[in-house]
Each structure stands twice: as structure tokens, then as C-alpha cells.
Amino acid sequence: MCGLELVDALFHALGLVYVSFMMALGALTLKAARAIEDRRASIFGAGLLAIGVGDCSHVVGHILADLYGGLSKEPMGPPNWADAYEALSTAISVSLATFFFLTI
């Protein structure tokens, strides 16, 4: 079981690296767009930042559900606040990504 937990931790760490990159890319794109006063680049940067924030909440939701969730235990227990947060953060993440792709 220890090997599976290590793989989970690795995926969580990679998820946090990914969202850090997306938020930094969005913030830097917004900064550059303001410097050159380009509205389209500003919208693109805001979208990247929104995807980064949404995916960050999603990754945090996965981590919390793995650590504290009732559905991830053996045997499966009743859902609790961590499982509810994971579901809500997934919905927010998907909504922000859909809004971004419809905007561009």
C-alpha cells in the first residue's frame, strides 16, 4: 500500500507544479498585456489565471479528499466535508475552463 500512496503524493505534487505554472503564466501574460495595452492578450492572461486558480482548487480538493475523505477509505465510509469540497472544486474548475475556452 505504501507504493500506491507514494504515487498519489507524486501526482499531487505534479498537480501543484502545474497550477503554479498556469497561475504564473496567467499573471505574467496579464502584466505584459497591460504594458502594451492589448485587450486580447489581457483576456487571454485572465483566462490562464482563472484556469490556474480553478485547477488549484481542484488539486487541493483531491488532496483533502485523499487525506480526510470518507469515500477514499477502505472500507468506503460515508461522504464528508472533504468529499463535498472535492466535488464543488471540480465543478468550479470545469466551469472556469469552459468559460475560458468559450471566451477565446
Question: What's the pTM?
Answer: 0.85
pLDDT at 103: 84
What range does the domain containing 37 cover?
A: 2-103
3-state secondary structure the chain: CHHHHHHHHHHHHHHHHHHHHHHHHHHHHHHHHHHHCCHHHHHHHHHHHHHHHHHHHHHHHHHHHHHHCCCCCCCCCCCCHHHHHHHHHHHHHHHHHHHHHHHC
Number of domains comprising the chain = 1
Mean pLDDT computed over 81-95? 94
Tell me the per-residue pLDDT of 34-78, one tens digit each, with 9 for 90 and over: 999 999 999 999 999 999 999 999 999 999 999 888 887 778 888
